[in-house]
Structure 1
Amino acid sequence: MNFTKNNNVLNTLPKRIIGVIFSMLLTLTGHAQFSDDFSDGDFTANPSWNGTTADYTINATQQLQLNASVAGTSYLSTPHNLTNFNGKEWSCWVRQNFAGSSSNFGRIYLTSQSADLTTDPDGIYLQLGEALSTDAVRLMQRNGGVTTQICASADGTIAAAFQIGVKVIRDNAGNWSLSIDFAGGVNYSLAATGSEVTIPSGTHFGYLNTYTSGNITRFYLDNIYAGDEVVDTDPPTMISLQIVNDTQLDVTFSEAVTPATAEDVNNYDLVPVNSISTATLDGVNPALVHLQLTSPLINGNTYTLTSSGIEDVNGNASASQSLNVTYLVAEVPVPGDVIINEFMADPSPVIGLPEAEFVEIYNVSNKVLNVSGWKLGDNATFGTIQTGWLLPGEYLVLCPTSSVPEFPGSVGVTSFPSLNNSSDDIVITDNTNVQLDKISYTLDWYQDPAKKDGGWTIERINPLAPCSQASNWQASVAAAGGTPGSQNSVYNTDPDLQAPFIYTTAVNAPNQVQVTFNKPVDSTALSTAVISTTPSLTETGRTILAAYPVSFTIQFAETIPASQLYTISINGVQDCWGNFGNPTGQFLLPAEADSGDIVINEVLFDQYTGGSDWVELYNKSNKIIDLKGWKIARFNNGVISDHKLISSNYLLYPDDYVVIGADSNFVINNYPATTLGKFYQLTLPTLSNDTGSVIVMFEKFVFIDTIDVIMDQLIYSSKWHFKLLDSKDGRSLERMDPNLPTQASNNWHTAAEAIGFATPGGKNSQYYPALYNGEVSLSSETISPDNDGFEDVLQINYQMNTPGMLATIQVYDDRGRIVKTISQNELLGLTGTIVWDGIREDGQKATIGTYVLLMEAFNINGGSEFVSKKAFVVAGKM
C-alpha cells in the first residue's frame, strides 16, 4: 500500500475518513506499530496517552494542542508496540507557532526507554527548536546519558514559526533518513541521512514541550504513524495546474518526482499548439515542476496539459493524464463592449423561471473581461458585482446573491437594485465607474399586453445593433418565460435597412416643438439637416442631447397658436445604421379643453368572454385636444378611485372618436363596425356588468398646485339596454345625442344588431340629434324598434315658451287605447327631447300599425297650456 499517497489524501479528507485510513494501515501492516490522528477527539484511549494530560487538549480541527496554564515542561507518551526497529518508518505533522529557543522547543520521541519524558531518557528523538537562529530539524540519539546527532536539516530551516510534515526511516543496517515537507504536507524531500551510534531500544513514542508563558498553547501534533516502512507502489498524479504568467505554467504532482523524468520536456504536451522549452523541478518542493513555454498563451484560451512517464522517488511511472487551465488576463472595457441583453423586472406570476429579478449582460467584444467590482444600477441605487469572468460572446446572469443557486453560472450582486415593474433604468459600469451600457425601459417594451403583468423577461432582439431603443426589445417567447444565460428567443441579427421616420411630435408652448423618430438617429447629421415648415416658421435653434438621440427640440421665433396644424420636413436625417431619410410629419399646439368639449359617447361594460371593457370618447368641440395627462376613473363608495392615466400624447381632433381599453385586437376581431386607428391601449378601472360608473378628468395646474377637473361622468345601468335583448353580453350602450345630458337615461340605447352591437371609433348606430321645429316635433314619422340601428327609437323634441312646465305624454293605438305612458307630470325645460323605444306597458314590442302621440303641458298650478297630437307609424318586417 502506498502510504505516501494516503498521506496526500490526509491533507484534504475529513478527520473521520482519516481515522478509517489509519485503521486500515494497522490491519494491512500488522500490529507491531501504532497511529493516531485524534479524529476521535480523545487522547486517553485508542491509543492511551499518559503524562501531564491536563496540559493538552484536542482542538476544533482535531489536532493535539498544548493547553497549559503557566510556563513549564509538559509531555505525553504511549507504547509504540515496535519489537524491533529494522525497516521502520515514523511520520507526523507538527507545528510550533513561535521562533524556537533554549526555553521554547519541542521533542518528538520516536522511541524512549521511559514513559516519563521529563527524565531525559535514552532513545531516539527529533529536536525542534534551540538557542540562536541555527534551528534545524535534528534527529538525535541519547544512549547511556550521552546525546549524539544522527543527522539534521540545514541550519535555520525552522528558525521561525513553522508547520511541517516529517518522515523518518531506519533500514536494517542502522541507516537513517530524514525527509521533510516544509509546506506541511506529505510531499517529502530528503533533508538528511545518518547512522546511529548503537542499536536503538525503547518502548514508548512521546511528545515533549518546554515553553515560556507566551507559548503555552502554541505546540501542535497530528497524523502520527510508527510502524513498518510503507512502500509506495502508486505512480504520481497531477493534482493542479497553475498559470504563473503568459509563458510559464506550474504543475504539481501528488508526491515527489524524480528530476530525470520531471525535467524531460518530451514527457509533456500542451494543446492548443504551444511548445514547452524547459521543465524544471522546484528547488524546495520536489512535487512541483515549472514549465517554460516557447510562445505566449493567448488570452481567453483553455489549454490542456498532458503528461506521461513521470516517476516518483520509488520508480513508479505515471500513465497519460491531463489537466485543463484557462488563461485569463482582464482587459479594459469601453462603452459598448458589454450590453444589457435581457432582464426580468416583474417575476410574478411565475411562468417557468425562478421568482427572482435578474439582468443578463453579453460581451459583444473580443476582450476578456473581469466583472469583479463592476456596478449594476437602476434609477435609484447601485449594487456591486462579485467575482466573475466574461469571455467574448458569453452571456452572464447577474442576480441577488440569495438567488445565485437558482441560476446556474450566475454571479451575485450585493445590494441588487430592485427593478420597477412599469419603468426604470438599468445601468452597467466597470470598476472605474465607466458606463458601459444603459437602458430606460417601459411597459411598451414588452410589445405584448398579455405579458406585461409579469413572469416574462424582456429580451434584446439584435445585440449587434449600433444603438438600441424600444423597437429593439420585446417580451420573450420562450416557454419558460425567458432565456437567462443563453441566446435570446427573439434573437435576430438582420441589419436595419429602413430609413428613419417621424414617430410623434409635441408642441411645448409657446414656440418649441419636440420631434421623436422611430429609432435613434445620428446627432451630427441631425445638427445639419434642413428643416422647413408649412405654414412657415423661423427656426432659431435646436437642442440635441445625445450622440444617437431618439428625439430633439426645435425653437422657433414665432409663437405657435393653438389648434393650428403645421407640416414639418427634415431633410438629411441618418440613423445609426447609416440609413438616410427625409421624413415629414405634422405638429400643432393642442387647445385647452373645457368641460363638455369631450364626452363619453359609447361604453362596453359587459364584454364577451376573453375580452376587455372599453370606453369611447367623442370630441364635439372645434378644438384639437391632447389627452396626455387625462384619467379614467370610477366612483367607489362615493369616492373617485382607481385612476388610470393616459401617459402619452394622443391628439383628439374635432368630431373624432377614441376608444380606450386594454385589448384593441379583441375589439377589432369581434366588432365589424370598428374604425381602425382610433385606439389607446389602457387597462380601465373595473366596470360593473350591472350598474357602474365612468369618470373622465384631467390634471390642471392651478397656481402652485394641480387639481383633477372632471370633464364628463356617467353612472350607467344595464337596464338602459333595449328591453327585448336576449343577452346583454358584448352589447355596447351608445349615446344618441352628444349634445344632450350624459346622465339622461333616455339618451342611451343598445347599439344596433345589424352592425354587430357596437361602433367603436366611429359614429354611433343610434345617433339621433335632437331637432327643434316649433313646439313639438318627432324625429321621424315612423319607428321600427328592432335594434337594427334605423329608427329604433322615437325622439319627441319640444320647445316651451315658459319654464317650469309639467308634461304627460302618452301613445294611443288606432282604436284609442293607451299603449304607453311615456312620462307623467314630468318637469320640462324650455327645450328638450324625450325618447320612446317602442315598448308597450306590458313589456312587449308595439305591433305594426298607426299610433297617435298625445302631449299635454300644464303649468305648476295645474292649468293647461297646450295639447299636441302627432301621428306616426310603427313599422317592421312582414
Structure 2
Amino acid sequence: MKALFIVLTLLFPFLSWNQLTDDFSDGDFTSNPVWNGTSTTYIVNAGQELQLNNTIAATSYLSTPHNLTSLDNKQWEILVRQTFAPSTSNFGRVYLTSVSADLSTNPDGFYLQFGEAGSTDAVRLFKMISGVSTQICAAPDGQIATSFAVRVKVVRDNTGLWKLYVDASGGTNFGSAYTGTDAAALTGTHFGVFQTYTASNATKFYYDDVYVGDEIVDTQAPILVSTTAITNSQVDLLFSEPVGGANLLLTSNYTLNPSVVVGAVSVDGTNTALLHLNLASSLTNGQNYTVTVSSIEDAFGNTATNLTGNFSYLVGETAVKGDVIISEVMVDPTPVIGLPELEFVEIYNKSNKYIDLSGWKLGDLSGDGTILSGFINPGQYKILCASANTPEFAGSYGVSSFPSYNNSSDDAILKDNSGIIIDNISYTDNWYRDPIKKSGGYSLELINPNDPCSDSSNWIASTNANGGTPGAQNSVYTITPDTQIPQISSLIAISPNYLEVHFSEGMDSASLVNAVFTSNPNLTVQSVSVASTFSNQATIVFNENLVFSQHYSFSYGSVSDCWLNATTLSGSFALADVPQAGDLVINEILFDPATGGSDFVELYNRSAKVLNLKDLFVTNLDEDTVQLTQNYFLDPGAYVVLTPDSNYQKSTFPQSVPGRFYVTSLPSLNNDSSTIQLLYNSIVLDKVSYREDWHLSLIDDTENKTLERINPEGASSSASNWHTAAETIGFGTPGKMNSQYVSGSVSSTFGATEPIFSPDNDGFQDVLLFQYNFDAGMIATLKIFDNQGREVHTLFSSELLGQQGSFTWDGVLSNNQKAPIGIYIAVIEAFSADGSGKQFAKRIGFTLAGKLD
C-alpha cells in the first residue's frame, strides 16, 4: 500500500500546503506531523503502519491538526485495518474533523465509524453535534462484519454533498460513491483516530496512508490494464479506474483481431473498472488476439481512444500416449563439449494439441520429479531440467526433484498429472553408437519423431558441435519414412517346444500373431505371443517338442514392421544340445597382438551337435573369468572367434571371415605362456596350456601371428599339435579352417599320414603328421635320420604315449636349423609301460620337399 500512496502524492505536486499526509514510513508519529493523545498505547510497527499496542481494555486516540480553513471541495483518505469482528465493545472511528484535539470527549465534528452491534457492520459517515450522532451516508451493510482492510475516500463539495468511497480490497479501485448531504459549517481543527476495545483486541487496530486536503481532481484518462480470456466466449477488460460513457455498452466499440464478433458488453457487478465481453463465436485455442477499445470514459469525463490489449486463449487439452515424446536426453554432461554441465530431458509435442504440463511427472525407475508449470504447443520443443538450472536453458521448465539418470543405462519416463505414462525410453550407452561420445558431453537424440516404434535404432549421439540441441530441432532429425522390410536378427529355440523370433526392428504385433508359420520337419503352432504393441520379438509355442540339434527350415509371413512394411521371412533354427567335454575345442589363438590390438580365441565345434555359446565361461589359471552372455549357435564343424575387437582382427588378417565373430572381453593371455579353459556347468570342455616356443622357431617374432591347431582331434595341450599360421595367408585364419590343418589316418601300428611334406610355412603340408595305435601305453623314443643313416633330430625321448595319438614334425633340426630337402627315415622304439616286457620298433621313410632357388 505504501507504493500506492507515494504514487498518489507524486502525481499531484500542485496540492496546496494546507494538507495533511502521513504514511508512517519514518517509523515515528511524534513528528512530521505530530500526533498527540494516549501516545503510549501506539507504535509504528515493522510494516510502517500506525498500530494500537495496549494490553488492557480501554479507549485510545491520537489526533493532529488538519490545517483546513474550510471543508469545501476537500478530500480525506485513509487505509483502515481491524483484524477482528467489530462490535459495540470493539470499534474504531476516524475523525475527519473535530473541534477538539481530545477525541475521547465525543467532540463535535464529522467521523467515520468502523464497527457496530450485530452483523450489519458498514463503513458509515456521521455528524456529531453535542453528543448526538447523525448518519450522513454509508457503504453496504456487512462489508466490514469480519476482519477487514479497507481503503476509504471521502469528498465534500462546496454545496455540502458528501461522497463516500470504499475499496474493500485495500486498493484504490473505489467504484461508485455512497452520498449524503450536510452543509453544517463544522470546519474543526483536528484529524484523528479513536478506538474502543477489549483486552483481546488491544493490538488489532491499524492505520496507514493518511491524506487530508484539497480534492484531488482526476485529469487522467482510463488505462486498459489487462485483457484476459476467461472462457472461449468471454474476455474481460480491466481498466485503471471505473469507466463509463455513451459507448460503454456498444458492442461496436470493441473489436478483436483475428476477428471474433462481440455479442454483448456488461459491467462487473462489484468492480465498475471491469468489463465483460461476451463473444458471439468461440476463441481458437492457442491463438493470440488483440482487442481494441475505440472510446472509453472515466467518472470525471476523461476520455481514452483506441486502447489496445493483447491476450492469448490457451486451454490445456488432454494428452494421450504418443502426443508428447521424449526427443533428447543429456545424462552424462561431463566432460563439457559446449553445453552447460547439467542434465536435461527435451520433450516434443508432435500433436496438434495445446498441453498444460503443470503437475506432469518426469522420472526414472526409482522415482519421479514434478514439472512445476508451463504449456507445450503443437510442434514445440521444451527443455526439462532441475528447477535451479532453468536460468541455464532459455525457455526451460523446472522439475522438482529432477531424476539423477545413470550414464550407462536407465529409463526416462514422462507421465501426465494423473500418472499415466505418455512416453518412456529405456536407453543404454550403446545408443550413442560412438565409443568417444558415450564417454560424456554429448546428448542422445531422437532421429525420426514419426517412427511409431522409436526403439534403439531411432536414437544416436548428437552430431551438433556443442554436443546437443536442447530446445531446438535435433541435429540428426529426419522424417523420412522407413520403407525397408524387416529382417530376423536371431532365432532362439528353447526346450521343450518354444521358439523366440527376434527381429531387426519393432514389429506390428497383430501381424506377428496372425501370420502363417510353416516348417520342415513339420511343427504345428499352438500359440504366438508378443510383449507389446511394437515388440521386436515373438514367442512361438509348438504342439510338438523340438529335437536336439535337428535343423528346422521355416517360413513365417506375412509379417509387418511398425511402418507396415510387409514380408514373408524364412530361415532355419535348431534346439541347441548340451555340450560335453571335447565337443567344443580351442582351435586358434592370438596372444601377442600389436600395440593397440586385441587377442582372440577361435573355437571349433568338432561334435555332431548344435551348440549355444551362451553361459560358457572362458578362463585362465589366474581366476580371470569371462562369461558369454549372448546367444550364439554353432553348427557342427563351424568356427567362431571370441575377441574384444572384431574390426582389429578383420583388418589384421586378410583370411578372417565376417559374421563369425563374437565380441566379448577375454581373460588375460600372456605372451610367454598361459592356459585357456572352456567351462560349461563346471565341466571343462577344452583346455590349452600354450607356450611362446610352440611357434615355429624359425620366425623372428610372434606379434600378430596366431597359433593354429593342426588337427582338431589331436591333443589340446601338445606342442606338436600347434603351429604358427602360414605366412602366405597373413599368419592367421580367424573364422575358417586353419592353414596348418592336417588330418588323415594310418592302418598300421605306426606311420605318417602323408609320405611327403614341405615345411616352408606356406600353409601346404607344413608339418608331417605321425599317428600311432598301440594295444597299451608305451614309453617311446623317435629319432630322424637322413638318407645317409645319420641321426639329425630327436623328436622326443622316453615319452609316455597313450594307446592312440599323433604328433608332428615341422622340419626343424635339433640345432634349430631347417632340415635340407631330401629323404629321411623316422625310427620309433618303444616298450610297454606296464612292465610286461613288450617291445615295438619301426622305421618309415618320407620326403622333405621344398622350393628350389
CA contact (8 A) 2:69 2:187 kept: no
Which of 214, 238, 252 aligns to 2:238? It is: 252
Which of 766, 784, 789 aligns to 2:760? It is: 784
* Partner Cα distance (1:399, 1:691) in 2: 54
Over aligned residue pairs, what C-alpha RMSD do you find?
5.0
Are residues 855 and 66 of structure 1, via their aligned partners in 2, closer, same or farther at CA, if it must alter by over 3 Å?
farther
Query: What corresponds to 2:258 in structure 1?
Result: 272
* Partner Cα distance (1:100, 1:574) in 2: 79
CA contact (8 A) 1:276 1:294 kept: yes
CA contact (8 A) 2:757 2:767 kept: no
Which of 732, 736, 747 aligns to 1:762? It is: 736
1:849 offset after TM fit, Å?
7.6
* Partner Cα distance (1:811, 1:54) in 2: 133
Are residues 822 and 24 of structure 1, via their aligned partners in 2, closer, same or farther at CA, if it must alter by over 3 Å?
farther
CA contact (8 A) 1:403 1:412 kept: yes
1:122 offset after TM fit, Å?
5.2
CA contact (8 A) 2:674 2:691 kept: yes
* Structure 1 runs not aligned, ≥5 long: 1-6, 12-17, 701-707
Q: Which amino acid aligns with 2:286?
A: G
1:128 offset after TM fit, Å?
1.7
Which of 457, 460, 473 aligns to 1:487? It is: 473
* Partner Cα distance (2:358, 2:662) in 1: 45
1:677 offset after TM fit, Å?
1.4
* Partner Cα distance (2:697, 2:303) in 1: 100
Are residues 175 and 442 of structure 1, via their aligned partners in 2, closer, same or farther at CA, if it must alter by over 3 Å?
same
What secondary structure is seen at the aligned counterpart in 2 of 1:299?
A: coil
Q: What are the equivalent positions in structure 2 for 1:553-592 lying under 5 Å apart?
A: 553-592=539-578
Are residues 391 and 796 of structure 1, via their aligned partners in 2, closer, same or farther at CA, if it must alter by over 3 Å?
same
1:671 offset after TM fit, Å?
4.0
CA contact (8 A) 1:733 1:749 kept: yes
What secondary structure is seen at the aligned counterpart in 2 of 1:10?
A: helix
* Partner Cα distance (1:31, 1:812) in 2: 139
1:653 offset after TM fit, Å?
1.7
Which of 92, 109, 115 aligns to 1:129? It is: 115
* Partner Cα distance (2:320, 2:88) in 1: 62
Which of 3, 14, 31 aligns to 1:10? It is: 3
CA contact (8 A) 2:60 2:196 kept: yes
Which of 632, 637, 640 aligns to 1:655? It is: 637
1:183 offset after TM fit, Å?
2.4
1:443 offset after TM fit, Å?
5.7
* Partner Cα distance (1:534, 1:397) in 2: 54
Are residues 558 and 262 of structure 1, via their aligned partners in 2, closer, same or farther at CA, if it must alter by over 3 Å?
same
Is 1:675 the counterpart of 2:675? The answer is no
Query: What corresponds to 1:3 in structure 2?
Result: none
| 672-681 or 390-399, which deviates more | 390-399
CA contact (8 A) 2:600 2:641 kept: yes
| 421-430 or 247-256, which deviates more | 421-430
Query: What corresponds to 2:82 in structure 1?
Result: 96
1:630-683: CA deviation from partner (whole Å, max 9, x where unpaired) = 455666xx4445x45423x32112222223445544544454333111233445
What secondary structure is seen at the aligned counterpart in 2 of 1:783?
A: coil
Which of 458, 461, 468 aligns to 2:447? It is: 461
| 714-723 or 122-131, which deviates more | 714-723
1:552 offset after TM fit, Å?
3.0
Are residues 198 and 537 of structure 1, via their aligned partners in 2, closer, same or farther at CA, if it must alter by over 3 Å?
same
1:213 offset after TM fit, Å?
3.9
CA contact (8 A) 2:78 2:209 kept: yes
* Partner Cα distance (1:653, 1:258) in 2: 94
Query: What corresponds to 1:138 in structure 2?
Result: 124
* Partner Cα distance (2:74, 2:809) in 1: 120
Which of 194, 197, 200 aligns to 2:187? It is: 200
| 770-779 or 163-172, which deviates more | 770-779
CA contact (8 A) 2:324 2:351 kept: yes
CA contact (8 A) 2:91 2:195 kept: yes
Query: What corresponds to 2:629 in structure 1?
Result: 646
Are residues 561 and 393 of structure 1, via their aligned partners in 2, closer, same or farther at CA, if it must alter by over 3 Å?
same
1:561 offset after TM fit, Å?
0.9
Query: What corresponds to 1:72 in structure 2?
Result: 58
1:596 offset after TM fit, Å?
3.4
1:147 offset after TM fit, Å?
4.9
Are residues 128 and 728 of structure 1, via their aligned partners in 2, closer, same or farther at CA, if it must alter by over 3 Å?
farther
* Partner Cα distance (1:40, 1:839) in 2: 114
Q: What are the equivalent positions in structure 2 for 1:730-769 lying under 5 Å apart?
A: 734-740=708-714, 751=725, 754-767=728-741
Q: What are the equivalent positions in structure 2 for 1:488-527 lying under 5 Å apart?
A: 488-527=474-513
What secondary structure is seen at the aligned counterpart in 2 of 1:677?
A: coil
Are residues 816 and 47 of structure 1, via their aligned partners in 2, closer, same or farther at CA, if it must alter by over 3 Å?
farther
1:563 offset after TM fit, Å?
1.1
Query: What corresponds to 2:195 in structure 1?
Result: 209
* Partner Cα distance (1:34, 1:691) in 2: 105
Q: Which amino acid aligns with 2:629?
A: I
1:476-525: CA deviation from partner (whole Å, max 9, x where unpaired) = 44444444444333333333334444443222222232333444444555
Q: Which amino acid aligns with 1:618?
A: Y
The sequence identity of aligned pairs, in percent, is 44
- Give TM-score, length-normalised by structure 1: 0.79
* Partner Cα distance (1:475, 1:64) in 2: 65
CA contact (8 A) 2:758 2:764 kept: no
1:762-799: CA deviation from partner (whole Å, max 9, x where unpaired) = 334454569888658699644336xx656777878778
* Partner Cα distance (2:690, 2:765) in 1: 23
Is 1:161 the counterpart of 2:135? The answer is no
Are residues 234 and 402 of structure 1, via their aligned partners in 2, closer, same or farther at CA, if it must alter by over 3 Å?
same
1:293 offset after TM fit, Å?
1.2
Query: What corresponds to 1:180 in structure 2?
Result: 166
1:222-256: CA deviation from partner (whole Å, max 9, x where unpaired) = 34444555555554433332222221111222333
Are residues 187 and 497 of structure 1, via their aligned partners in 2, closer, same or farther at CA, if it must alter by over 3 Å?
same
Are residues 43 and 548 of structure 1, via their aligned partners in 2, closer, same or farther at CA, if it must alter by over 3 Å?
same
| 304-313 or 746-755, which deviates more | 746-755
* Partner Cα distance (1:165, 1:347) in 2: 55
Which of 78, 93, 104 aligns to 1:107? It is: 93
CA contact (8 A) 1:848 1:876 kept: no
Which of 285, 294, 318 aligns to 2:280? It is: 294
* Partner Cα distance (2:599, 2:235) in 1: 70
Is 1:539 the counterpart of 2:539? The answer is no
1:407-442: CA deviation from partner (whole Å, max 9, x where unpaired) = 554455566666665666665554555554555555
Q: Which amino acid aligns with 1:658?
A: V
Q: Which amino acid aligns with 2:656?
A: T
Query: What corresponds to 1:366 in structure 2?
Result: 352
Query: What corresponds to 1:392 in structure 2?
Result: 378
**Corresponding residue pairs, total:** 846
* Partner Cα distance (2:690, 2:99) in 1: 110
Are residues 591 and 160 of structure 1, via their aligned partners in 2, closer, same or farther at CA, if it must alter by over 3 Å?
same
* Partner Cα distance (1:201, 1:651) in 2: 110
* Partner Cα distance (1:337, 1:131) in 2: 61
Are residues 835 and 251 of structure 1, via their aligned partners in 2, closer, same or farther at CA, if it must alter by over 3 Å?
farther
Are residues 710 and 394 of structure 1, via their aligned partners in 2, closer, same or farther at CA, if it must alter by over 3 Å?
farther
* Partner Cα distance (1:421, 1:267) in 2: 61
1:629 offset after TM fit, Å?
3.5
What secondary structure is seen at the aligned counterpart in 1 of 2:116?
A: coil
Is 1:326 the counterpart of 2:312? The answer is yes
Q: Which amino acid aligns with 1:10?
A: A
| 282-291 or 374-383, which deviates more | 374-383
| 535-544 or 849-858, which deviates more | 849-858
CA contact (8 A) 1:814 1:850 kept: no
1:724 offset after TM fit, Å?
8.1
